[in-house]
Amino acid sequence: MKTLLKILGYLILGILLLAIGAFIYFQISWSNSSKANYALLGETAPNLTESGIKFRDLNKNGKLDPYENTSLSVDERVEDLLSQMTLEEKAGSMFITMALMSGKGELIEKPTMMEPFMFTFLSLMLPSNVEMVASKKMNHLNTMQGYEPEVMAKWNNNIQKLAERTRLGIPVTIASDPRHGAGSINGANFFTPSFSHWPTSLGLAATGDTALVEEFGRIAREEYKASGIRMALHPMADLATEPRWARANGTFGEDAELSAKMCKAYIKGFQGDSLSHQSVACMSKHFSGGGPQKDGEDPHFPYGKEQAYPGKNFDYHLIPFEKGVFPAHSAAIMPYYGIPMGQTSEDVAFAFNKDIIKGLLRDKYGFDGVVCTDWNIITNSMMGEGRSWGVENLSEKQRLKKVLDAGCDMFGGEYCSDLLVELVKEGELTEERLDESVRRIMRDKFTLGLFDNPYVDDNIANAKVATPLHVKKGKEAQRKSVIMLKNEDNLLPLKKETKLYIDGIDKEIAVKYAKLVDNPEEADVVIIRRLGPYEPRNGDFLEALFHAGRLYYSSEELIEIRSHYGGKPVVFSFELERPAVLTELVDESTAVLADFGLDHDILMEALFGQFNPSGNLPFELPRTWEAVEKQLEDVPYDSDNPLFPFGYGLGFGGEEAEFEEADVEVLE
């Protein structure tokens, strides 16, 4: 026994020593790598004056270069910069990927423990901040963390200081997915509590109010800018014609005309009438419409790579772009991952598809802005295998070439700029082809004013975000997005003295509005709030974020929900990420409200009649799962005998709410 314990002790000691040795090795390795990257940087750019013109001497040569001259046109400045850029600098400019910051806005130079754990994992997998900027010559970064604006602003300034020390001082464009949607929505949204709270895009669509959507864009623009974010990786112009699709939560619903109007207003809010120093550039997505996913599966994953058009309705999905995105002059466009099966000369995904990007987007619609691929379509990474659907047999370098041959400019979620350099040196691509894309990319940087001043005042960032006016406007939008689907016997609005049993609602908020009881049997009314149903997936962490599959609650979920009834009138509040089959629960309820992300105080206001619900469904709610399975992926509102049709909504007293056509026409 003693011998066994001694062996076990030696084994544990050996493992401990190995762990300590590995830790020391990696610490030294990370430190050496950081030092090597910083050694590639020079001094910061001095502020000089020449011939009465004040300028930032970005290339540190002591004289005013045309690209540093604010009195010249954007095109003149771009051409001068392009003439000074090396092949490596051009290649680096064509990549954007995720980047992390510390909780104090400091640069991340080595893997770090972070909350949530997903960011710790990413810090192990991603290059450090300085490696991206100094070594890989990248000047576009995608931030995901939801810190206070002051923290994000400090990080922006730290990144810009790094960029200023590169050979030409090219500033970094910070990009972000949506941050303002209140509620529980996951996926490609990064709700930031310190920002003002608004409905998601589906909720904005439910208001039918383009003036409100444009106002949201203006407010979100100011909050982004205060934090250093100058590119919005949104809006989504996709149509939710396939109800099972997990990304429906980012769209404006299934109606093409409504989506077009919403997109137009949204982009104008972020960019203004044209791109300028005051804008946040929009990267609208996903051309030419990512909604008609076969069986509703998402092309982030191999089983969802195909888009289906059984209704021969490809052109319908172009309408939000034709009437919304293009007239609003979106700065950039992103194609999706999927393969538009049978629609082009070869069945390859959008970003590899010359018929889609060059033939349709560039030639037919004349789009000359930046086209950036969706994330991780070239290389395998911590996000899974490269989503190179239809061209899986190609090498990474061949995939890069095919994307550029198709007409795209940038690679999202990638940082393999060295492979692009190799392609040019091997004669597979010309440097002039890179120039074509870099010209578009730099044009936007100059137009946004980043070359003149990429810094923000971190001391006032918190004060400029979620101001009392911003918060007020966000709550007004949430109120307008609430949809009443049922109100039997005019149960709502509730009377002040009503005793409530609640489940799924923040009790600290609810108690401010009503007397709460602990058992449903003691209540006058039971209020139950639930996130719409979905099928949990057992894949990686990314797959878990996508609420896909079934649109009905399981038998176990229904048993749990019904355990709260207590024989009392039941009011359901559903937060919907996509359509849902709610027939049984609606039949069992007295009143039903639906929304797309709400602060719980707004929900309580609705229950007690502090405003009259006026929202309308941006998609229909199917009556049965069988009806869902019979729907055509590319066709809107084709569910057999839906429980509630597109556009449905009631007000108190039973009158039907209607989309506000007068508001919808504001931007026409």
Active site residue ranges: 374
| Two structure tokens written together for 302 | 């191999």
Sequence-ordered alpha helix ranges (H) in 208-348: 210-227, 256-271, 319-320
- Asked if 535 and 560 count as a contact pair (C-beta separation under 8 A), the reply is no
Residue 222 C-alpha from the chain's centroid:
17
For residue 101, list its beta bridge partners.
107
Q: Which residues contact 545 (CB under 8 A, 6 or more apart)?
A: 186, 187
| Two structure tokens written together for 529 | 């709030």
| Whole-angstrom distance, CA of residue 457 vs CA of residue 297 | 43
Helix, strand and coil in the chain, % to nearest 5: 40, 15, 45
Residue type, 448: L
| Whole-angstrom distance, CA of residue 419 vs CA of residue 396 | 8
- Asked if 385 and 391 count as a contact pair (C-beta separation under 8 A), the reply is no
| Whole-angstrom distance, CA of residue 307 vs CA of residue 305 | 7
Residue 416 C-alpha from the chain's centroid:
23
DSSP 85-153: --HHHHHHTTEEEEE-B-TTS-B--S----SSHHHHHHHHHSPPHHIIIIIS---EEEE-----HHHHH
- Asked if 87 and 431 count as a contact pair (C-beta separation under 8 A), the reply is yes
Residue 246: CB atoms within 10 Å? 27
Residue 588: CB atoms within 10 Å? 13
| Whole-angstrom distance, CA of residue 303 vs CA of residue 540 | 14
